[in-house]
């Protein structure tokens, strides 16, 4: 989940913070201090997160595009200049554009707004924006809610009392509401100083940037892992089941399935599964990606040399072309598989299926999947030539069962033509002729289209009179028989108009003979 930091660099941010004694700080310094702390945390614990920095006043500017290079971000932060007044709406529009350009609209994103809570005056102020939010035309809509799934965090370099004195707090709360309640406002507690800004950003880190650690297990084989990006809680149905569900920290493998059988399933999200070494105190040594200090490198080398189940699993999944089905919680499953990027680096990935007992129709209910060895007969065949998947649904779909639709005249005409074509090739085509005839009959009866039955009967009778001299004698018999049956059906007489009834070929002296002589 990428992060975009939106930093207020209006003049009001340069207001000094009154601290007795010691040196004088600006609010901006506090903001920079807090963000530095955030970036440091991400650089060590959340390294794969893409972060971008946007500064705004009356205009906005993309200072650093999305990157994992936290040095660049820090540098930009340190060299930030001061500008004019605050105009949040334009900046939020900018955020929306920047994110969409980079990630599209389906990727969830976290937006961290850092401001002093002085949200401008008059036109362009947040107050003004919110007052007019309902009077917008189509192409000038307020940028919230963002078109992509998002969390909107507001870090106020101000304390709550200060914000409540004006209507700033109300306006900010309204912003969160506009974003569908996705987000939170953080204010500083106590005096504005380095310590309280640290504690405020500490709360944000706990809330949004705590790494997700879990134990992956396959029977007795286990591995400590970090799942990145961390899986977010999911709600199935806000009415019937409004409780958000979270992925449990025990990822238990249930069994294995061929890639061809799982067949590109739809997923809620994808995550890297990175093995981590956990030492006795429970502290993480590293995800293997960190190599900052010499000490760390050596511990990493140690970790690299001791066998890890993730690596074994990844290797075998890759070689065999399989996925592991993993349980994420009650009635919630996902899959583990090997994913290679263009540079031939490959990784263990986890995708989360939709919540519920049957996330993929072609697998059926997951709780009903059991070990293949329990089946009376090997469902994969002795030579791996079969597969129990996909599961066939009870009813066939319309496109798989030759339904009759006459909404367009051409549909009806095609069906009539088919019958006539076969009629001319009697008796060779007797079976197809009656099959098509019965199909038409059934549909006409269901649609109450008796006129059609009469009409087709007439057509058949005419066909009969037009038979060439060389025609097989059986043809004439079958045609007049069929015509008569259709007429009977069109009378609505329950004896002949029963839907399940089929017109069967007339038994003639010729029909049995096959190679009967021609007249």
Task: Report the residue number, 123 or 305, with the smaller CB distance to another protein.
Answer: 305
Residues from 152 through 211 that contact another protein (CB under 8 A)? none
Where does this chain touch another protein (CB under 8 A) — which range of 12-20, 114-122, 187-195, 342-350? 342-350
- Please give the Cα distance from 249 to 278 (Å, whole number): 15
Query: C-alpha angle with apex 136: 131 to 138, nearest 5 degrees?
Result: 155
Mark 288-327 with x for binding to another protein (rule: CB under 8 A) and - for no binding: xx-----------x-xxxxxxxxxxxxxxx-xxxxxxx-x
Query: C-alpha angle with apex 496: 490 to 502, nearest 5 degrees?
Result: 105
Q: Answer yes or no whether residue 275 interacts with another protein by CB under 8 A.
A: yes
Task: Report the residue number, 121 or 391, with the smaller CB distance to another protein.
Answer: 391
- Given 61, 80, 103, 296, the residue binding another protein (CB under 8 A): 103
Q: Answer yes or no whether residue 482 interacts with another protein by CB under 8 A.
A: no
Q: Answer yes or no whether residue 137 interacts with another protein by CB under 8 A.
A: no
Q: Answer yes or no whether residue 363 interacts with another protein by CB under 8 A.
A: yes
- Given 78, 395, 495, 518, the residue binding another protein (CB under 8 A): 395
Q: Answer yes or no whether residue 25 interacts with another protein by CB under 8 A.
A: no
Q: Answer yes or no whether residue 251 interacts with another protein by CB under 8 A.
A: no
Task: Report the residue number, 86 or 287, with the smaller CB distance to another protein.
Answer: 287
| DSSP structural state of residue 293 | S
Q: Answer yes or no whether residue 267 interacts with another protein by CB under 8 A.
A: yes
Residues from 420 through 449 that contact another protein (CB under 8 A)? 442-443, 445-449
| DSSP structural state of residue 515 | S
End-to-end CA distance of the chain: 83
- Given 123, 134, 280, 343, the residue binding another protein (CB under 8 A): 343
As measured in angstroms, the least distance from the Cβ of 174 to another protein is 23
Q: Answer yes or no whether residue 238 interacts with another protein by CB under 8 A.
A: yes
Q: Answer yes or no whether residue 48 interacts with another protein by CB under 8 A.
A: yes
152 and 180 in contact (C-beta within 8 Å)? no
Q: In terms of Cα–Cα distance, which of 354, 351, 350 is closest to 332? A: 354
- Please give the Cα distance from 356 to 50 (Å, whole number): 31
As measured in angstroms, the least distance from the Cβ of 415 to another protein is 8
Strand partners, 113: 6, 154
The residue written with tokens 């890890």 in the block is 308
Q: Which tokens go with 310?
A: 């993730």
Task: Report the residue number, 191 or 411, with the smaller CB distance to another protein.
Answer: 411
Those residues whose C-beta lies under 8 Å from the C-beta of residue 434, and which sit 6 or more positions away, are: 482, 502, 503, 504, 505
- Please give the Cα distance from 495 to 489 (Å, whole number): 8
């Amino acid at each position: 989940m990428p992060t975009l930091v939106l930093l207020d660099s209006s003049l009001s941010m340069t207001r000094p913070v009154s601290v007795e004694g010691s040196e004088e700080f600006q609010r901006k310094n506090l903001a920079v201090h807090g963000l530095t702390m955030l970036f440091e945390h991400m650089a060590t614990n959340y390294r794969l997160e893409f972060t971008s920095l946007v500064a705004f006043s009356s205009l906005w500017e993309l200072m650093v595009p999305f990157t994992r290079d936290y040095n660049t971000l820090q540098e930009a932060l340190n060299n930030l200049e001061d500008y004019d007044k605050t105009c949040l709406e334009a900046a939020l529009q900018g955020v929306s554009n920047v994110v969409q350009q980079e990630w599209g609209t389906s990727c969830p994103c976290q937006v961290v707004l850092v401001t002093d809570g002085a949200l401008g005056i008059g036109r362009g102020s947040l107050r003004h924006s919110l007052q007019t939010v309902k009077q917008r035309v189509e192409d000038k809509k307020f940028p919230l809610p963002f078109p992509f799934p998002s969390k909107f965090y507001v870090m106020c370099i101000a304390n709550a009392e200060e914000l409540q004195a004006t209507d700033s707090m109300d306006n900010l709360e309204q912003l969160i509401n506009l974003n569908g309640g996705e987000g939170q406002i953080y204010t500083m507690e106590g005096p504005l100083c380095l310590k309280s800004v640290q504690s405020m950003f500490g709360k944000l880190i706990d809330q949004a940037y705590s790494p997700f650690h879990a134990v992956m297990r396959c029977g007795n084989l286990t591995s400590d892992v970090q799942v990145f990006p961390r899986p977010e809680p999911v709600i199935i149905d806000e009415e019937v089941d409004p409780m958000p569900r979270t992925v449990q920290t025990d990822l238990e493998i249930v069994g294995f399935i061929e890639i061809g059988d799982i067949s590109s399933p739809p997923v809620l999200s994808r995550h890297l599964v990175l093995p981590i070494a956990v030492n006795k105190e429970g502290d993480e040594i590293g995800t293997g990606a960190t190599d900052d200090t010499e000490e760390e490198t050596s511990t990493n080398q140690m970790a690299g040399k001791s066998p890890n189940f993730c690596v074994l699993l990844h290797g075998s999944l890759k070689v065999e072309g399989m996925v592991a089905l993993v349980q994420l919680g009650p009635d919630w499953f996902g899959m583990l598989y090997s994913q290679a990027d263009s540079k031939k680096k490959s990784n263990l990935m986890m995708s989360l299926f939709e919540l519920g007992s049957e996330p993929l129709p072609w697998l059926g209910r997951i709780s009903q999947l059991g070990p293949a060895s329990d089946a009376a007969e090997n469902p994969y065949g002795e030579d791996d030539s079969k597969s129990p998947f996909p599961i066939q649904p009870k009813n066939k779909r319309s496109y798989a069962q030759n339904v009759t639709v006459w909404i367009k005249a051409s549909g009806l005409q095609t069906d009539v033509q088919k019958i006539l074509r076969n009629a001319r090739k009697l008796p060779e085509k007797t079976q197809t002729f009656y099959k098509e005839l019965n199909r038409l009959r059934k549909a006409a009866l269901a649609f109450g289209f008796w006129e059609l039955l009469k009409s087709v009967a007439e057509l058949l009778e005419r066909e009969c009179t037009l038979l060439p001299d060389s025609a097989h004698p059986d043809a004439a018999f079958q045609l007049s028989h069929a015509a008569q049956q259709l007429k009977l059906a069109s009378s609505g007489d329950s004896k002949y108009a029963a839907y399940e009834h089929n017109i069967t070929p007339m038994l003639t002296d010729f029909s049995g003979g096959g190679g009967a002589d021609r007249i």
